[in-house]
Amino acid sequence: MSVRHGILLLWMGLKMINPKNLIRGSVWLVDLDPTRGHEQAKKRPCLVISANNYNQGQAGLAVIMPITSRPRELFWYVPLDSSQGGLDKKSYIICDQVRNVSLQRFSSTCLGFVSDLVLEQVEERLHVLFYLIPKE
């Protein structure tokens, strides 16, 4: 994002976060509204899953997965202990709700990070969701 673009966003009253802070595996509050159908809505914690170089690129976008505190016994829900991601209660990453969102949807501070084990569990579900089969 150019300096000129950043100044324009500030002039328009839109907040900006520093894209250098968007690290894969970090958890942020993200405003997911407006939504359609069964998409997760409202401002909620989300896990950043896109690569750091994408998050910090010119597009001003990041790929996220919403997090909920509502338990469900589904394959797509990866459990998070309350000690991870800066969350105050047990939560679940909803791995079948992958979204590419503007950086303007992010709150200004990172809540925390998830463990490598949690990221591996998320990646397993992404492989199933997108039918990513290793080439032999």
On the question of pLDDT at 11 being above 80, the answer is no
Question: What's the pLDDT at 98?
Answer: 97
Tell me which of 69 and 16 has the higher pLDDT: 69
CA atoms within 13 A on the CB side of 130: 10
Going by C-alpha positions, the residue among 74, 72, 84 that lies closest to residue 118 is: 84
Question: What's the pLDDT at 7?
Answer: 37
Question: What's the pLDDT at 63?
Answer: 97
Average pLDDT of span 98-124:
94
The strand pairing partners of 89, in sequence order, are: none
Question: What's the pLDDT at 39?
Answer: 76
Q: What is the largest CA-CA distance in the chain?
A: 52
pLDDT in tens, 119-131: 999 999 999 999 8
- Burial class of residue 109 in the structure, from the number of CB atoms within 10 Å of its CB (0-12 exposed, 13-18 middle, 19+ buried): exposed
Mean pLDDT lowest among 49-53, 61-65, 105-109, 116-120: 105-109
Average pLDDT of span 105-116:
91
- Strand pairing of 43-48 and 61-68? antiparallel
Question: What's the pLDDT at 37?
Answer: 82
Average pLDDT of span 74-101:
95
Q: How confident is the model at residue 16 (pLDDT cuts 50, 70, 90)?
A: low
- Domain boundary assignment for the chain: 3-129
Decide which of 3.40.50.11540, 3.30.70.20, 3.90.1300.10, 2.30.30.110 is the CATH code for 3-129.
2.30.30.110
